[in-house]
Amino acid sequence: MKKLFKKSSILLLILMLVFTFVGCQNKEVKGKFNPGTYEGTAEGLGGTITAKVTVTKDEITKIEIDAPKETESIGAGAKEQVIDRVLSSQSLAIDAVSGATVSSNAMIAAITAALEKSGADMNVLKTPADKPKEEAQKDLDVDVVVVGAGGAGMSAAIEVANAGKSVVIIEKMPIVGGNTNRATGGINAAETPYQEAAGIKDTKQTFYDDTMKGGKDLNDPELLRTLVDNAPGAIEWLNNMGAGIERVTLSGGATNPRIHSPKDASPVGPVIVKVLSNKLKEQNVNIMLETKAEKIIEKDGIVTGIQATDKNGNSFTINAKAVILATGGFGANSEMVEQYRPDLKGFSTTNHQGATGDGIVMAQTVGADLTDIGEIQIHPTTDPGTGYLFTEGLRGDGAILVNFEGKRFTDELLTRDKVSAKILEQTNGQAYLIANEEMRIENASLAGYIEKGYATKGETIAELARSLTIDEATLENTMKVYTELAKAGVDKEFGRKHMTKTLEAGPYYAIKVTPGIHHTMGGVKIDTKAHIISTEGTPIKGLYAAGEITGGVHGGNRIGGNAVADIVIFGRISGQTAVEELK
């Protein structure tokens, strides 16, 4: 009996050990996820976003996101951030990327949908983990610090790095590109090989005269001459980096076709941001995101660096021999807009949220002079709800404007200030841009607006009129008259010179538009070498500026296509001058 008891207890012990072992094994096999690669989708700004997520039993190891229809540069910035945040926190409880909220939320949703298939406990994944304490950013010493990673700042940094000098860019947003991401049209230049190939006769002098006239003769003549002279070279520089900007069309305020855009007429800004940021990657230039310049450091009249805050709000110093301010304009700072232009109170804006004029305010504290600061441009064709901008190129390519009564009311190709004023005179201060299928096929920007849901479609003009609750007969008559004028080539009604399309055949598209705050032409005063000029009239040593932060290039009204020229040309000049003057 005793023996039997002994035997059975040994058996029991063995059994218990086996169970414990198997139990442990099971537990280990189960893990957090069922290993594998899972796919999930969600709707983004422009269409479906797909996420492919690879997991081992207890770790998310790889995420690939395909977001072909998101605005390219914004989408790419958001993608990197979202992937990095999920992988580093191993959680879905991450913040959307500011400046790209809709896109990044959709990316998080697609990753979530993928992980739902992996057997994971979604509640655990969605619970915020304790953030590991990150080290505060240490002080840095560089030759040049560039503030702002828009088109101007990135162009500047490329030139500095090309000269073999050390450079860092600080950018307060989590993505690069600023307002440059939103540049829809193209880049102006006269006497280019692309114009020549298209048989377009244009001269630098005509470009100069058009810009001066459009700017109401307020433009600084020397800055404008610098812009005009360097514009063809700027396109070559971009194209040598792979931008493919070769299409030449007409834009408001230009005597001849001279706005150069990507071959498929897609918006120029994202293309430029992509080539510039790729180049900076290749050059190993450090772009510190979510890092904000707070103050310019100056000693005995010489600028020696920047006081900045890192992404956790820790203050640190960048000691530099040169500081280039490329912080953009102040179109998203409604208080500053109102301060300089009380009449623009309450207008919506086309600007990204980082366009708050920081650089202008900082530069003033070290004695910078301002020029044309009250000159603020409203863009005629923005979405009344969101401020989303519809490119001026649409009108250049053939679209017309009609009011809520179904009538044309202006030469659509007048300068932005004039077209805006005309729209504001119409019912509700709004109008419709009318385009047709032929234009949709030829113009990727228009196709994008339609896909994003901004347009109302009608197979015929009558159907379109009914959807817009416009009187059918009136709109039909307006279109019929326009087609006849376009065929004859003379706009007897409003004097429009280029009627690129007859708009004879449908289907038709209508996009509701209203003017919104677009570009702040004024800013810090610079000379042709991009030195910031003080109120005493002399360059501030060690301080340079380029892009929308500056005033003078555009005078009282910016011509479409000149902002991109401005940021690339003066961005490069600021980098080159800073290098030349390194002590």
Name the site residues for ligand ADP (rule: CB under 6 A). 147-153, 170-173, 178-180, 292-293, 326-328, 354-355, 358-359, 547-548, 567
Marked catalytic residue, from 416, 496, 558, 572 = 416
- Smallest gap, in angstroms, from Cβ of residue 249 to ligand ADP? 22
Q: Could you give the angle at the alpha carbon of 153 between the alpha carbons of 181 and 278, nearest 5°? A: 65
Instruction: Find the radius of gyration of the CA atoms of the chain.
Output: 28
What H or E segment, with its residue span, contains residue 549? none
Cα 569 to Cα 550: distance, rounded to the nearest angstrom: 13
- Smallest gap, in angstroms, from Cβ of residue 265 to ligand ADP? 21
CB of 147 or CB of 368, closer to ligand ADP: 147
CB of 392 or CB of 548, closer to ligand ADP: 548
507 preceded by a cis bond (ω within 30 of 0): yes
Cα 564 to Cα 569: distance, rounded to the nearest angstrom: 8
Mark whether 466 is an active-site residue.
Answer: no
CB of 20 or CB of 312, closer to ligand ADP: 312
Cα 412 to Cα 547: distance, rounded to the nearest angstrom: 28
Cα torsion at 332, 334, 340, 343 (round to 10°)?
120
CB of 112 or CB of 181, closer to ligand ADP: 181
- Smallest gap, in angstroms, from Cβ of residue 258 to ligand ADP? 20
The CB-nearest residue to ligand ADP is 150
**179 — phi, psi (to 5°)?**
-70, -20
Q: What token pair was written down for 575?
A: 């980098």
- Smallest gap, in angstroms, from Cβ of residue 139 to ligand ADP? 17
CB of 172 or CB of 422, closer to ligand ADP: 172
- Smallest gap, in angstroms, from Cβ of residue 176 to ligand ADP? 7
Q: What token pair was written down for 424?
A: 């504001």
Cα 130 to Cα 107: distance, rounded to the nearest angstrom: 23
First to last CA, the chain: 99
Q: Are 52 and 94 in contact (CB under 8 A)?
A: no
CB of 52 or CB of 295, closer to ligand ADP: 295
- Smallest gap, in angstroms, from Cβ of residue 431 to ligand ADP? 27
Sequence-distant (≥ 6) Cβ neighbours of residue 20 within 8 angstroms: none
Amino acid (1-letter code) at residue 325 = L
Q: Could you give the angle at the alpha carbon of 544 between the alpha carbons of 543 and 548, nearest 5°? A: 135
Catalytically active residues are 416
